[in-house]
């Protein structure tokens, strides 16, 4: 039996009726602007909608058109993205927009293959843009959609597996309305955020509970099934807020790898003790003809989780001694080191959690 026959397709109308009354007012909706939709979808991939809205507004003020974004430098783009994390998304968004400007004359392509060929655009983003901007009957399967369909159709496959995702994508494609595909995809997003939520679904408020198989069987909270295989590596880190007069010493991370080309306070990974960590920090500044005295009291411990690793950061204050002028000290510093006043911090792109430590300066 075709899985779509398990439920009467009238449920899609019920969902759209719910959406007509309860849809969120968002600045990229009802615009038909593929650029705004593109930016909003990339921003919201790892961030709650309410938290990312101010970033979206600021972004559109700074880069109101695709041409503006295409003309911007990577540093400008990453700086505008600061606070959202996962900076590769910002870099890829800029590169993808540049492809549209250069190859398509600034017009977002209207077919899925061309969309998915753009840098940073996957199946979900392509489906969201094509359906929301051009009302094309294209699926946009994200975490909310996987959860809603897993409960409605009682899918017990791991939704992180290829099999589980393909099965649900097939169901979405079969049930996607012909007349309102873009609004249906947005309805699924809002419904998954407001009613069919992860831990404690609000089944008593759900307009689809009468047809939901998981609700009928009493196990909606246990679905979907997600089997995570990613091992998170924990790294302890000693960070020095090293000050010379009114200036702090900063280091620019390499232009490859995690948090590439962003600024950080001098740090040491996996020190065996405070003494060993302090010695490493002292050796870093000795290269510039300086000495440093580090206070042995940790002023803040900060935990930051990336997708595959966790940093446990302990920050310490230190005073740099240098017998010379600011100009002579700056002359000793390579291009990937810098002396900055606290008032200049806002002009620089900070390496993730290091930005949070600026409040201690």
Active site residues: 41
Q: CA–CA distance from 290 to each of 35, 191, 244, 246, 285 (Å)?
A: 50, 59, 10, 16, 6
| Backbone angles phi and psi of 117, in degrees to 5 | -80, -15
CB contact at 8 A, 301 and 314 = yes
From first CA to last CA, the distance across the chain in angstroms is 65
SS3 223: coil
SS3 273: coil
H-helix or E-strand containing 30?
none
* Measured distance CA(196)–CA(193) in Å, rounded: 7
Tokens for 177? 């309305």
Tokens for 243? 């000050």
H-helix or E-strand containing 47?
none
Of 64, 96, 66, 90, the closest CA to residue 76 belongs to 90
Tokens for 19? 């959406």
- Using the structure block, give the residue that is written with the tokens 């609004």: 183
* Measured distance CA(277)–CA(289) in Å, rounded: 19
SS3 111: coil
Give the DSSP letter of residue 231. Answer: P
* Measured distance CA(139)–CA(173) in Å, rounded: 6
* Measured distance CA(168)–CA(237) in Å, rounded: 42
Question: Beta strand pairing status for 309-321 and 300-305?
Answer: antiparallel
* Measured distance CA(78)–CA(305) in Å, rounded: 19
């Amino acid at each position: 039996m075709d899985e779509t026959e398990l439920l009467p397709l009238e449920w899609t109308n019920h969902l759209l009726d719910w959406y007509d009354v309860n849809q969120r007012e968002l600045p990229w909706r009802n615009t038909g602007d593929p650029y705004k939709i593109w930016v909003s979808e990339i921003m919201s991939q790892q961030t709650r909608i309410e938290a990312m809205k101010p970033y979206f507004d600021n972004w559109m003020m700074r880069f109101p058109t695709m041409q503006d974004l295409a003309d911007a430098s990577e540093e400008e783009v990453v700086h505008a993205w600061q606070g959202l994390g996962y900076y590769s998304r910002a870099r890829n968004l800029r590169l993808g927009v540049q492809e549209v400007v250069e190859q398509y004359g600034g017009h977002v392509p209207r077919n899925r293959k061309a969309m998915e060929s753009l840098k940073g655009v996957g199946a979900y983003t392509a489906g969201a843009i094509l359906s929301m901007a051009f009302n094309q009957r294209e699926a946009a399967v994200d975490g909310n959609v996987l959860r809603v369909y897993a409960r409605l159709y009682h899918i017990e496959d791991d939704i992180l597996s290829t099999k589980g995702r393909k099965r649900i994508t097939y169901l979405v494609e079969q049930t996607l309305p012909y007349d309102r595909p873009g609004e249906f995809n947005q309805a699924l997003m809002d419904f998954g955020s407001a009613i069919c939520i992860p831990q404690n679904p609000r089944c008593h408020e759900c307009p689809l509970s009468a047809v939901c198989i998981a609700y009928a069987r009493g196990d909606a909270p246990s679905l979907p099934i997600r089997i995570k295989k990613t091992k998170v590596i924990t790294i302890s880190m000693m960070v020095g807020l090293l000050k010379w007069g009114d200036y702090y010493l900063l280091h620019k991370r390499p232009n490859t790898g995690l948090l590439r080309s962003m600024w950080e306070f001098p740090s040491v990974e996996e020190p065996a003790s405070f003494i060993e960590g302090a010695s490493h920090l002292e050796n870093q500044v000795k290269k510039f003809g300086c000495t440093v005295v580090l206070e042995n009291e940790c002023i803040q411990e900060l935990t930051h989780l990336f997708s595959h690793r966790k940093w446990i950061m302990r920050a310490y204050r230190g005073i740099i001694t240098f017998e010379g002028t600011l100009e002579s000290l700056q002359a000793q510093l390579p291009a990937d080191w810098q002396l900055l006043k606290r008032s200049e911090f806002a002009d620089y792109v900070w390496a993730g959690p290091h930005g949070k430590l600026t409040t201690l300066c």
